[in-house]
Amino acid sequence: MKVSPESRFDWSDKSVLVTGGTGSFGRKFIEIMLKEFRPARLIVFSRDELKQHDMRQVFSDREGKPMRYFIGDVRDQERLRRAFQGVQIVVHAAAMKQVPACEYNPIEAVMTNVNGARNVISAALDAGVQKVLALSTDKAVNPVNLYGATKLVAEKLFIQGNAYSGSSPTRFSCVRYGNVIGSRGSVIPLFQQQRKNGFVTVTDLRMTRFWITLEQGVRFVIRSIEMMHGGEVFVPKLPSAALRSLAEAAAPGCRIDTIGIRPGEKLHEVLVSQDEARNTLAFDDMFVVKPAPRWLFGADPWTGGQSLPEGFTYASDNNPEILTTEDIRGMVEDTVTTGAPRDSRPTPVTT
């Protein structure tokens, strides 16, 4: 997947804020933005003061640096309004992401993932933010668990949120991708822990998933911000892998025990549904799900892509690009030995 095209977007005069900025995505996003794009101001908005303290040791906010740290919760619209003052670009990464946690705490999941999305939209409109890009997931397509359902609602809120922009410059879009290899709470750290005992547990060996590295995800988000007009869902073309291959790559030589699919899990995930495909364009390395209805967003700015054939779906089991065990091993080798994916270990940034 091509994720590093030459940028023609000028970040140097932009103030950029990322919600959930102390998470795996946020840390990598901050690292890449500071090293390569150098925005005028880069703001981490999150709830955890300890994580912000730890992050501050790597990405300093001392005088003359672009970094800023805001304690706040996306459930608090007033705090978001204050944080968004003078901000041109918002990346909305804050969410409850663990499927079991959302199932057991459903109201909390709705408060963060749905009400939080609404609050980000309202605060961005009030503050005159220019671009807001929200992170979504393949689990939002034909959802079978509460996490996926809340992310589906969040997607709809952001896409249709453009209807509230009126004559203001604020535009909303989404990025949707699959599982991030080695991110916190993912299966790789679990396999790493289990392999010490000589076995790993998988729910179903037939299961397939889309996979992306943390750095690829961040770079795709940056590219999508540069390209967005408002109302799109950007979907990268990703490889798929069977859970068996992932287990064999992360824990070679270990016994694999099957424990059965958990509530809320699918055998296979979908990134572009058959119904969405009718309004989707395919490009070399991504799909763009265009907004509908057209009247909300004006003339169609997208040209050059290919329309998809009737009945098309982009699913992890019909994906033409399948990772082998050897392919995966190359992507996770650092995770297996250090417990942290290569892409998520930031080095101190002094610029």
Question: For residue 155, how many C-alpha atoms fall within 13 Å in the half-sphere facing its CB?
Answer: 26
- Active-site pick, 14, 131, 139, 290: 139
Is the pLDDT at 349 greater than 50? The verdict is no
Write down the domain spans for the chain: 15-179+211-237+270-315
> Catalytic site residue 139?
yes
pLDDT for residue 184: 66
Among 75-79, 110-114, 195-199, the range scoring the smallest mean pLDDT is 195-199
pLDDT for residue 61: 94
How far are the Cα atoms of 51, 70, 82 from residue 64, in angstroms, in the given order? 22, 17, 22
Residues in contact with 32: Cβ distance below 8 Å, sequence separation at least 6, in sequence order: 215, 218, 219, 222
Question: By percentage, how much of the chain surpasses pLDDT 70?
Answer: 89
Fold of 15-179+211-237+270-315: Rossmann fold (3.40.50)
Q: Residue 198: which of 261, 260, 243, 247 has the closest Cα? A: 247
Range 181-187 average pLDDT? 70
Q: How confident is the model at residue 129 (pLDDT cuts 50, 70, 90)?
A: very high
How does the average pLDDT of the chain come out, rounded?
89
Is the pLDDT at 335 greater than 60? The verdict is no
Q: Residue 174: which of 255, 92, 112 has the closest Cα? A: 92
Q: What is the pTM of this model?
A: 0.90
CA–CA distance, 286 with 314 (Å, rounded to integer): 11
Range 17-32 average pLDDT? 96
How far are the Cα atoms of 142, 178, 242, 323 from residue 313, in angstroms, in the given order? 12, 15, 18, 19
pLDDT tens column, 249-272: 888 889 999 999 887 889 999 999
DSSP classification of residue 168: S
Q: How confident is the model at residue 293 (pLDDT cuts 50, 70, 90)?
A: low
Q: How confident is the model at residue 343 (pLDDT cuts 50, 70, 90)?
A: very low
